[in-house]
Amino acid sequence: MDTSTPTTAPADVGQTSTPLEKDGEAPAARRNESSSYTVTFTITSGPAGTAPTSDATVKGTPYNATGKVPCSIGSDAPGSAQCGFGVIRGGPGNADVHLAPPGVEVTSPGATTHVIRFAGSTVTAVGSGTRLRVTREGDQWSITIDDRDHYIIPDAVIRGG
């Protein structure tokens, strides 16, 4: 590269150009030099505050998100394992959370063992004969199913984010 003339680093969309050093000379800012300039931004999305009309889904699934939540089965310490989840979100604060056993991805065929429905502050199990014990602490729900299976569900799973 010819260093006899100043050059400019290429700029990608959303990035700025920065003069490169010339013959070992410090950049202008380090020499206490300043410049006046104007930056113009163009916003190409919808108006501020516009929320999407629907939540995206994980490719090949009905779920808006998948991942793992702290869990335990049987006499194991609460939260000592990680269980797969898939969430199908409805309106704000409404979601069905599908839960799989520890070590099993919720997207595996037949993996779902429980479906917990959140409707605002009401939490129910989908299916008959399931006993729930539900407590809320901070931004997460602690759910025990049939006095055996324990799950910790953060609000972010239910609401997104």
At position 127, the amino acid (one-letter code) is G
List the Cα angle 82/66/161 in 5-degree steps: 105
Task: Please give the Cα distance from 160 to 32 (Å, whole number).
Answer: 46
pLDDT greater at residue 25 or residue 88: 88
Per-residue confidence (pLDDT) for residue 7, from 0 to 100: 46
Structure tokens at 145: 């199913």
Q: Which residues of 12-41 are buried (b: 16+ CB within 10 A; e: fewer)?
A: eeeeeeeeeeeeeeeeeeeeeeeeeeeeee
Task: Please give the Cα distance from 152 to 35 (Å, whole number).
Answer: 54
The rounded percent of the chain whose pLDDT value lies above 90 is: 49
At position 47, the amino acid (one-letter code) is P
Asked if 100 contacts 106 with a C-beta cutoff of 8 angstroms, the reply is yes
Distance of CA 57 to the CA centre of its chain: 12
Domain layout of the chain by residue ranges? 65-159
> Ramachandran region of residue 144, left (φ > 0), alpha (ψ -120 to 50) or beta?
beta
What values do phi and psi take at 44, rounded to 5? -105, 0
Q: How far is CA 139 from CA 17, 66, 123, 135, 152, in A?
A: 42, 19, 15, 11, 10
pLDDT digits (tens, 9 = 90+) for 82-127: 999 999 999 888 999 999 999 899 988 888 889 999 999 899 998 7
Q: Is the pLDDT of residue 20 over 60?
A: no
